[in-house]
Amino acid sequence: MQTISFYPESREFHLSNDRISYFINVMKNGQIGHLYFGKKIRERDSFAHFMQLKTCSHTSYLYDDDLTMSLDIARQEYPGYGTTDYRYPAFRIEQENGSSISNFIYQSHHIFSGKKKLEGLPAVYAEKDDECTTLEITLEDSLMQASLILSYTVFDRYDAVMRSVRFVNHGNQQLKLTNAQSMAVDLFDSDFEMLQLDGAWSRERHVHTRKLVSGIQSVDSMRGHSSAEHNPFIALKRPETTEFQGDAYGFALVYSGNFLAQVEVSRFEHARVLLGINPLEFAWTLNPGDSFQTPEAVLVFSDSGLNGMSQIFHSLFNERLVRGPWRGKDRPVLINNWEGTYFNFNDEKILSIAEKAKEFGVELFVLDDGWFGRRDDASSSLGDWYSDKNKLVDGVEGLSRKITSIGLKFGLWFEPEMVNRDSELFRAHPDWAIATPGRSMSHGRNQYCLDFSRDEVVDCIYEMMEKVLRNSDISYVKWDMNRDITEAYGAKLGSGRQGEFFHRYMLGVYRLYEKLITAFPDILFESCASGGARFDAGMLYYAPQAWASDDTDAVERLKIQYGSSMAYPVSSIGAHVSAVPNHQLNRITSLSTRANTAFFGAFGYELDPDKLSEEEKAEIKEQVAFFKKYRHVFQYGTFYRLISPFEHNGNTSWMAVSEDRKTAVFAYYKVLATPNPKANKVRLKGLDPEAVYVCSRAGEEYYGDELMNMGFLPDLEYTGSRVRNPAVKFKNSGTDIGDFTSQLYVLERK
Ligand code: GLA
């Protein structure tokens, strides 16, 4: 059961559920201090002794008669800069006299059941009021006549604290917010490693860890979206923490634009974690009466290692971030024509793909880029969201009906935020493309971003999309975003408010999503940004799944999917089987390894079935049937990372276990074959120790405790020469021995 208690004597707030505690207090100066965040501990009236303020040489103090009260030493919850604290602050407000010094002190608080919505922003939600409790603390700066409302929600079921901040200007002067983080926390010590998810196009969310050192370490995005380069998620783990044991803190921002995730280790070795909108290029004007709401941050704690932390994010995001009819629902097996045809298709080709896919057992056909305007390559037509009848005689409207009459659902690609110079939209509204007056416009893939900070732009795109969606038979939309924003400038914002541009752009994106979801509640949205450049918790609120990467190579996917799973559930990770040689890397992997990797995701195919051999077609049919049987376990089972591709020459293992522990799917991927290899053993997780499990390999039986402690032995690698091992068979569709092999087994409780 979750509770939030206030102890008036000690002025402490204790937030907890059955497994975690989060303790904060009103410090002597009225600001909010941080006492503890971690494994649940027993309640007492006060933990003030833990604050341990001390006299310290060479610092500044708030009061004449107290040589301990320095914010330089205090561990805080939402620190400002300049009144004895010199670390990077959580916020900064410029006042009319030019000062940015503030003093927000405790005024009141409010504890209530449930959780409020964040206007215009994605956020974790409560389904029933009694499943979570919220604390709002109002702090006031009397000189500035402004308040800060710090919000904290703790759930019964999830070991997480949701935080956000609201700034309100109720005075008479104009204020300028130049930094407004969603959260800050000063952890007691800095003996942590920081885990981050980094990469680039085609190799998104690779796991990197580094030991915290004195000073600032951070990841961020300034690209206008959360980016392939860094992800708005970091974890802090103890050096001894593993995937299975030890303390791990996760911090995820429910936001899809420019962000900062930063840890600063102070001279007293406190670790200050900040997470929020990137302050670089951010400034928000608060006129009298105005307020500003930050995005939400999710803070997770687990003492069961990184897997424990990830599992909390997975269930929280699956159950209380994803909304609508697709929440918790098995995702359709799809076929996407992009790698199969690129821009080169017509009705006949599409129908031929769809008909074959139907025979495979696929459930959804997705028409990717190239169906609109006059789009035969990447140089034109973005913004013209109506069918190209040269390619599709009866338009998308007619094609969608033909596809649904085959017995498949129909899905469609859009890139709503973009425009090409060569488009009707650009010719009609050249000023809608983001540009800085007097400067040239940089392009990315020949395209320009539309100014989504302007309502009329968002509304116009909505109308075009609405018409297509209304007139066709569409159950899925892939929403792409294929470039970074440059020369950012809001033509309608005026000179004083350019710092609002990036956030207003995101609010425009969220508004369009919300309008579409409201009008078409049953459509399944998949977000995409040149692959996985906007794979974040913010997007999951609107699009329950995301295209993880344009890289469909099975071996590369091991790293991408492993990294993504740090914070994001398997159900959200778009993963497709594509053709070989792989289009991104030219690598050849077997059809079974490609599927064994993609099964752990929102599964589908992205190839031209007309190019497959009969044998491959038969194998795909089997794959789809197999996947459908175990889809719920793959997508919603408890997911365990077992062997990291970043540590063992790329070899990887992971598994998923159904909630009732009756069924488990276990996979082992061997990247490079080893001569004369040792036997491998993998200790499985999450099984019922008492139960007997039957393995799909040969019907052999194991006890759960045996599999979890002694371990499971994947098949031995092929070794020696073919001549001496005539029993070894090669499959036509690829290699099931040699490099890039995989093994996938189902364990069923007897
Ligand atoms: C991006 C996406 C791809 C595909 C192309 C179409 O690169 O990530 O999946 O949709 O755009 O242009």
As averages over each run of 10 residues, the pLDDT of the chain (750 residues) reads 96 98 97 98 94 83 91 96 96 98 98 98 97 98 98 98 98 98 98 98 98 98 98 98 98 99 96 98 98 99 98 98 98 98 98 98 98 98 98 98 98 98 98 98 97 98 98 98 98 97 98 98 98 98 98 98 98 98 96 97 98 97 98 98 95 98 96 87 98 95 98 79 47 59 95
E runs forming strands in 45-187: 91-94, 105-113, 132-141, 146-155, 160-169, 175-187
Measure 94 CA to ligand 1 centroid, in angstroms. Answer: 42
How many angstroms does the Cα of residue 565 sit away from the middle of ligand 1?
Answer: 22
Name the residue with the closest Cα to ligand 1, atom 11.
Answer: 530
- At 268-319, the pLDDT tens digits run 999 999 999 999 999 999 999 999 999 999 999 999 999 999 999 999 999 9
Rounded Cα distance, 323 and 691, in Å = 35
Nearest CA to ligand 1 atom 2: 530
Separation of alpha carbons 722 and 176, rounded Å: 73
Nearest protein Cα to ligand 1, atom 7: 530
Distance CA 192, CA 213 (A): 9
Residue closest to 158 by CA, chosen among 569, 743, 460, 729: 569
Centroid of ligand 1 to alpha carbon of 528 (angstroms): 8
**Tokens of residue 606, six digits:** 């992205």
Q: What is the DSSP letter of 288?
A: T
Query: Quick one: tokens of 735?
Result: 């290699």
Q: Which amino acid is at 356?
A: K
Q: Which residue has the tokens 């509640």?
A: 521
What distance in Å separates the CA atoms of residue 469 and residue 266, rounded to the nearest whole number?
Answer: 54
Report CA(319)–ligand 1 centroid distance (Å). Answer: 28
All residues at 6 or more sequence positions from 532 whose CB lies less than 8 Å from its CB, including other chains:
204, 205, 228, 546, 547, 548, 549, 550, 560, 564
The single-letter DSSP state of residue 115 is -
Strands 524-527 and 476-479: parallel
* 369 Cα–ligand 1 center, Å: 7
Rounded distance between C-alpha atoms, residue 106 and residue 612, angstroms = 68
Place of tokens 């073919």: 722
Return the best residue to mutate from 550, 578, 583 for the ligand 1 pocket (most ligand atoms within 8 A of CB). Answer: 550
Which pLDDT score is estimated for 731? Answer: 43
Among protein residues, the one whose CA lies closest to atom 6 of ligand 1? 369
What digits encode the pLDDT tens for the residues 27-56?
Answer: 999 999 999 999 999 999 999 998 878 788
- Give me the amino acid identity at 88: Y
- Ligand 1 residue neighbourhood (C-beta within 6 Å): 338, 368-369, 413, 480, 482, 528, 530-531, 547, 550
In a 3-state reduction of DSSP, which class is residue 304?
Answer: strand
The sheet carrying 20-26 orders its strands as 3-7, 12-16, 20-26, 32-39
Cα 513 to ligand 1 centroid, rounded to whole Å: 19
Choose which residue among 368, 380, 549, 560 to substitute to test ligand 1 binding: the one with the highest number of ligand atoms within 8 A of its C-beta.
Answer: 368
Q: What is the pTM of this model?
A: 0.97
In terms of phi and psi (left: phi > 0; alpha: psi -120 to 50; beta: otherwise), the region of 531 is: left
Per-residue pLDDT at 442: 98
Nearest-angstrom CA–CA distance, 693 and 459:
56
> CA–CA separation, 104 vs 29, rounded Å?
9
CA of 441 to the centre of ligand 1 (A): 22
State the closest ligand 1 atom to the C-alpha of 529, by its place in the atom list counted from 1.
8
* Active-site residue flag, 480: yes
Write the residue with the smallest CA distance to atom 1 of ligand 1: 530
Ligand 1 geometric centre to CA of 413 (Å): 9
Q: d(Cα 358, Cα 334) in Å, to the nearest integer?
A: 10
Identity of residue 191 = D
| Helix or strand holding residue 416 (H, E) | none
Number of Cβ atoms within 10 Å of the Cβ of 444: 14
CA of 621 to the centre of ligand 1 (A): 26
* CA of 370 relative to ligand 1 center, distance in Å: 10
- Predicted confidence at residue 721, as pLDDT, reads 56
CA gap 72, 84 in Å, rounded? 6
Which residue from 413, 478, 480 has its CB within 8 A of the most atoms of ligand 1, so it is best to mutate? 480
Residue with tokens 């840890």: 263
| Sequence-ordered list of residues with C-beta below 8 angstroms from that of 458, at least 6 positions apart, any chain | 452, 508, 511, 512
Testing ligand 1's pocket by substitution, the residue of 375, 447, 530, 545 carrying the most ligand atoms inside 8 A of its CB is 530
Residue 621, Ramachandran bin (φ over 0: left; ψ between -120 and 50: alpha; else beta): alpha
The active-site residue out of 303, 369, 384, 550 is 550
Six-digit token string for 239: 């050096």
Q: For 716, list phi and psi in degrees, rounded to 5.
A: -65, 145
Which pLDDT value is given to residue 728? 46
Nearest atom in ligand 1 to 528's CA:
8
Which among 203, 413, 557, 560 is the best mutation to test ligand 1's pocket, defined by most ligand atoms within 8 Å of the CB? 413
CA 549 to ligand 1 center in whole angstroms:
9
The protein residue whose alpha carbon is closest to atom 12 in ligand 1 is 369
Angle (deg, nearest 10), helices 591-598 and 614-636: 20
Closest residue by CA, ligand 1 atom 5:
369
Asked if residues 136 and 149 have their Cβ atoms less than 8 Å apart, the reply is yes
| Identity at 91, one-letter amino acid code | F
Residue of 85, 480, 536, 736 marked catalytic? 480
| Two structure tokens written together for 276 | 């929020």
Q: How far is the CA of 534 from the centre of ligand 1 (A)?
A: 13
Instruction: Measure Cα distances from 118 to 125, 166, 290, 505 in Å.
Output: 9, 10, 16, 17
Distance 584 CA to ligand 1 centre (A): 13
| pLDDT, tens digit, 9 for 90 and up, residues 149-187 | 999 999 999 999 999 999 999 999 999 999 999 999 999
**55: how many CB neighbours lie within 10 A of its CB?**
12
**What is the radius of gyration, based on Cα positions, of the chain?**
27
d(CA 293, CA 171): 18
